[in-house]
Amino acid sequence: MHTVDTVLPATNITPSPVTVGTGPVSVADVVAVARHDAPVLLGDDARAAVAASRATIEVLATDTAPHYGISTGFGALATTFIDAADRTRLQQSLVRSHAAGSGPEVERETVRALMLLRLSTLLTGRTGIRLSTAEAYAGLLNAGITPIVREYGSLGCSGDLAPLAHCALALMGEGTVRDRAGTELPAADALAAAGLEPVLLAEKEGLALINGTDGMLGQLSLALHDLQTLFSTADVAAAMSIEALLGSDAVFAADLAGLRPQLGQQASAENLRHLLAGSPIVASHQTPECTRVQDAYSLRCAPQVHGAARDTVEHAGRIADRELASAIDNPVVTLDGRVESNGNFHGAPVAYVLDFLAIAVADVASMSERRTDRMLDPARNNGLPAFLAHDVGVDSGLMIAQYTAAGIVSELKRLAVPASVDSIPSSAMQEDHVSMGWHAARKLRTGIDGLARVLGIEIMTASRALDLRAPLKPGPATGAVLAEVRRGVAGPGPDRFLSPEIESVAASARSGALLDAAQTMTGSLY
């Protein structure tokens, strides 16, 4: 599966440290550490909780009775007692054998996100890990050392085992990593260069390092951050297309939206009212001579679709917040000192919402592409030249830009097929139902990249259409977005190399630059 790194504007601002305690980190914390290399600090409450739960593990390690994960094997070998002399080798063997990923390298920000979330669970005091091991894990993050994690290996049950095992392997000074500069090198060399010592794992620690939903949750957190921007940018794109197509803003009235109390729809309709306020183009055709009664659904129903997508993000955010507050490990050390097996590592809650979001992403992109196509069709674009070409017949204009959007939308529809219903058994049928949450996260990540490109193509198309409406001018907000587009993309003219222009506008959609331009005139949009 194709994966991408998120394009972000360059910044020289040093991010504030993120303190990880016994409580949850936030989506904003995940973004700060994963994307902006915010330093990680260990809270005093976490230090005390880790020390207390480790004392429980050390007592049980001396017991002659078997305790899962402490003095036994794992999975289908959970009934096999392991002598004390072999337990360090047991933990190391667990990590080495589970670091079995294959395929393309996973993005740096994804790896850093999952590492922060695993550290957060370690610091709840429910995993029995040693404080020194947690400190060493934080040391990897703060040194900018990123273990190389491969695309395939997680089934999303017993956690994201292979991705987390690759990270634990680096903690042991084994495997391969990238340093802060992006250079690939052996983990032992990277640790030495950073002044860090490899960790010799003790009882329970191998399990504690790999048994979580952190990979899928980290990607969900990053996705929620990105979709807040992109779904608002979809409203910006729709507003520009509505102007370009001489559409009406009357359908977005507050009293009409209030007849259907869907919160996301009402927020989107309010955004569109602000974005189209004061538009000379909209005002130009609000006359008795205008005979059109209704706009096409891709214009008129934008709040209904964009709003439903927003509501899906809100639901996914609630699930993410609960998972961020969770202590996922098996077994866990309870508050009263018991060590108990459980099934909390099953990724179903996270997997479901990752799949829900992929559906919303595909549908918002599909509606965007329909608006783009409408602007290029002289039978439907209310007086604009075919394909917005400079010399129709000689020039093709933006014809193939729409092909690109259509091809992306077709892929997004395939990516909207849920991964979470595709369980496949493993571990000699001990793990006979799995969530596939990692795979749901991977396809959502690709989908978000595609959505940014489709919205970019719509905004690029609408910008050319608005220029062709001269001497009529767009409203203040859409005009500000048009000016931002023109910083990197020239206006109408003879055919030219379009690919760099698409990349420029897509990057501006993804980074939030287009939304920010609109908000200079509207204030904060939903």
With 70 as the cut, is the pLDDT of residue 320 above it? yes
According to CATH, the topology of domain 18-211 is: Fumarase C; Chain B, domain 1 (1.10.275)
- Chain region(s) in the chain for CATH 1.20.200.10: 220-522
Identify the band that residue 69 occupies on the pLDDT scale cut at 50, 70 and 90.
Answer: confident
pTM recorded for the entire structure: 0.94
What is the structure's pLDDT at 7? 41
The per-residue pLDDT for range 234-243, each reduced to its tens digit, is: 999 999 999 9
Q: Which DSSP string corresponds to 261-284?
A: --HHHHHHHHHHHHHHTT-HHHHH
Mean pLDDT of 490-499: 98
Neighbours of 429 (CB within 10 A): 8
Place of tokens 């609960």: 322
Place of tokens 């504030």: 16
Identify the band that residue 159 occupies on the pLDDT scale cut at 50, 70 and 90.
Answer: confident
Report the alpha-carbon distance of residue 151 to residue 376 in Å, rounded.
Answer: 39
User: Which has the closest alpha carbon to 111: 420, 441, 352?
Assistant: 441
What is the structure's pLDDT at 10? 43
Report the alpha-carbon distance of residue 216 to residue 188 in Å, rounded.
Answer: 27
With 70 as the cut, is the pLDDT of residue 293 above it? no
83: CB partners within 8 A, 6+ apart = none
The per-residue pLDDT for range 200-223, each reduced to its tens digit, is: 999 999 999 999 999 999 999 999
Report the alpha-carbon distance of residue 352 to residue 354 in Å, rounded.
Answer: 5
Identify the band that residue 472 occupies on the pLDDT scale cut at 50, 70 and 90.
Answer: very high
199: CB partners within 8 A, 6+ apart = 132, 133, 136, 171, 172, 173, 205
Domain 220-522 has CATH 3.40.720.10: no
The per-residue pLDDT for range 372-383, each reduced to its tens digit, is: 999 999 999 999
What is the structure's pLDDT at 76? 58
Helix (H, G, I), strand (E, B) or coil at 72: strand
Alpha helical stretches, state H, 26-130: 27-36, 44-61, 87-98, 108-122
Percent helix, strand, coil in the chain (nearest 5)? 55, 5, 40
Alpha carbon 317 to its chain centroid, in Å, reads: 12
Degrees (nearest 5) of the Cα angle 30, 32, 33? 70
For the chain, what percent of residues have pLDDT higher than 90? 84
Structure tokens at 467: 């220029």
- Chain region(s) in the chain for CATH 1.10.275.10: 18-211
Active-site residue 68, yes or no? yes
Helix (H, G, I), strand (E, B) or coil at 507: helix
With 60 as the cut, is the pLDDT of residue 61 above it? yes
* DSSP label of 176: E
Preceding amide of 198 cis, omega within 30: no
What is the structure's pLDDT at 78? 67
Mean pLDDT of 322-332: 94
String of b and e for 87-100 (b: at least 16 CB within 10 Å)?
beebbbebbbebbe
β-bridge mates for residue 42, sequence order: 20
- Residue 144 CA: distances (Å) to CA of 149, 189, 447, 485: 15, 14, 28, 34
User: Which has the closest alpha carbon to 312: 349, 258, 260, 359?
Assistant: 359
Report the alpha-carbon distance of residue 197 to residue 190 in Å, rounded.
Answer: 10
User: Which has the closest alpha carbon to 330: 342, 318, 338?
Assistant: 342
The per-residue pLDDT for range 299-311, each reduced to its tens digit, is: 999 999 999 999 9
With 80 as the cut, is the pLDDT of residue 515 above it? yes
User: Which has the closest alpha carbon to 150: 138, 163, 161, 160?
Assistant: 163
Q: CB-hemisphere CA count at 13 Å for 371?
A: 38
Helix (H, G, I), strand (E, B) or coil at 102: strand
Q: Which of 68, 152, 352, 403 is catalytic?
A: 68
Report the alpha-carbon distance of residue 214 to residue 116 in Å, rounded.
Answer: 8
Q: What are phi and psi of 330, to 5 degrees?
A: -150, 120
What is the structure's pLDDT at 2? 44
With 60 as the cut, is the pLDDT of residue 398 above it? yes
* DSSP label of 198: P
- Residue 226 CA: distances (Å) to CA of 314, 437, 452: 13, 19, 10
What is the structure's pLDDT at 121? 97
The secondary structure element, H or E, covering residue 18 is: strand 18-20
Q: State whether the Cα torsion 197-200-205-207 is positive or negative.
A: positive
What is the structure's pLDDT at 65? 79
Q: Do residues 60 and 70 make contact, with C-beta atoms less than 8 angstroms apart?
A: yes
